[in-house]
A and B are shown apart, each in its own frame.
Chain A
Amino acid sequence: MSGSLEPWAAVLFVGAVVGLGVYAVAVMDRLVARSFSGGSFRASAAFLTPVRDACLLLTQRRTDTERPDAQAWALAPALLAGLAAVGIAVVPFDADLAAADIGSGFVLFAAAVAFVMVAVYVHGWSANSTFSMVGGYRFVAAALSYQIPFLLALLGTALPAESLSVGEIVRAQESLWNVVRQPLGLPLYLVVAAGVSFWGPLNFPDTPDLGGGTMLEVSGPARLLWSVARGAMLVAVAVMGAAAFMGGWFGPVLPGPVWMSLKTLFLLVVLILVRHMIVRVRLERFVIIAWTVLIPLALVDVFVSGLLIL
């Protein structure tokens, strides 16, 4: 177990990662969208638009529905943001730079991912509105399907480390990154990473075909917080992917945290490209693929990883 930060420094650290990460996602998403749609665009617009959108949402009025579960509705975005913070907290950015690199960090990250289902379902449920609730149910179906391949893909990385601590998982990759050692792991993980942050092709709860899904009835600051929390979740899975599969802080010349940030940014760019290049999958098809293709592949991944250690 590597040294953890002081409590106040850990809070600042996680807050900085979430803030910078969410802003980077917003900027890169706009840059990619603009370059795909062609035409002229100024880079400065991409940097300023997220801020402008956020300010607009902050001044917007809240909408209200008939008999919502007001407390749960208000708490759901906060829960999602907190889960993203928990996920980031267990990942070390350098040999001794982690908010909480605990012995069972892997399990805590998995628990945070499992609770995303609670946050999204409550967000869809508590508005007491049809399409929001359909979004919530869709996410439960999707989340139950991707959680097993997710756990198995991450578990494969814990095998060579012989530890559930994320720091140990990174240290076991000093000679060889897991993305090479377990070629199935990172693709499986990225599928799930898109699912857990309901991103791009796996955006089931907040889709345009549901008029926005769980976000349909949400406006103003609550909508801003939900979008930020969802971006933070995307950052959290990218940070974990960089640590678990791409060697974390290891890399030549540059210091560890820089490598870690670069790898995280790389995974975020991949996820953003996926969002703009791949059309949304139908939920039924995804559930079938998850149970019949992803889970067996993940089992093969774990089995082969275990065999290589023996």
Chain B
Amino acid sequence: MVRAAYWLLASFVGVGAILVLLAAEFLGLVLILMMAGEMTIMAVFMVMFMMNPAGLNPMQMVHQHRVSIAGGVIAFLALASAGIFAAFPDRPASATDDTTAELGIELLGDSMLVFQTAGVALLTTMIGAIVLSSRTGRFGDAQEGSEAPHLQPDEPLHTPEPPEAEEVHHH
């Protein structure tokens, strides 16, 4: 489980390394930096949905070993052959280009409105999600008046019978 998340992290680190090789040093390193936190949070959330307590004796998360191994090998060979045989454009970037500065000018220049709009929209979404999921808010406890689910599935939920009626029923 956690191992699967960190293998995904390893592949993201690989993507970041490719970006660094493509002279986008800042972008590559920021990708690596962000993904460490993202993958850990994802792993913790996945563990929260697991049936065993907090992830002790982890579940087997990998199924159909033969199929997945074959699929992985085929995908690797296909991508590798594409990398070897495809004709890539030959436009070497000059080593003196300061891509970080250009990125900053792009982010805070022509594209600023787009990025700021997206940023504010994401922030609003996050605040909305927190408001919706928090138990206490300005209108009091969100669980007020709610009832814990019964252990028997066919038991009626919203019929709080008076105690006298229950006694009569039993006798």
Contact = CB atoms under 8 A, between A and B. Distances in A.
Interface of A: 66-67, 69, 72, 102-104, 107-108, 110-111, 114-115, 117-118, 121-122, 125-126, 128-130, 133-134, 137, 140, 144, 147, 164
Given A117-B40, A137-B44, A164-B26, 20 more contacts: A66-B57, A69-B2, A69-B58, A103-B25, A103-B26, A107-B29, A107-B33, A110-B33, A111-B32, A111-B33, A114-B33, A117-B36, A118-B39, A121-B2, A130-B54, A130-B56, A133-B54, A140-B40, A140-B41, A140-B44
Contacts of A115: 36
Interface residues of B, number: 25
B87 interface: no
A122 B6 contact: yes
Contact of A144 (B3, B25, B37, B100): B37
Nearest to B9: A118
A121 B3 CA distance: 11
Contact of A111 (B36, B39, B54, B58): B36
Nearest to B98: A103
Contact of A108 (B3, B9, B29, B44): B29
Q: Kindly list the 6 A-B residue pairs having the minimum CB-CB distance in the complex, ordered from nearest.
A: A111-B33, A114-B36, A107-B29, A115-B36, A111-B32, A104-B25
B3 to A, nearest CB: 6
A104 B58 contact: no
B25 A102 contact: yes
Interface string B18-44: 000000011001101110110111011
Nearest to B44: A140
Contacts of A111: 29-30, 32-33, 36
A128 B29 contact: no
A121 B9 CA distance: 14
B29 A104 contact: yes
B30 A107 contact: yes
Q: Which of A125, A130, A147 has the most CB of B within 10 A?
A: A125
A128 B3 contact: no
A67 B58 CA distance: 9
Contact of B56 (A72, A114, A122, A133): A133
Interface string B107-140: 0000000000000000000000000000000000
Contacts of B25: 102-104
B23 to A, nearest CB: 11
A67 B3 CA distance: 14
Given A107-B26, A137-B54, A117 B32 contact: no
A60 to B, nearest CB: 26
Given A104-B29, A104-B100, A137-B44, A147 B37 contact: yes
Given A104-B25, A164-B26, A114 B37 contact: yes
A125 B1 CA distance: 11
Contacts of B58: 69, 128
B53 to A, nearest CB: 9
A67 B39 contact: no
Contacts of A133: 54-56
A151 B136 CA distance: 31
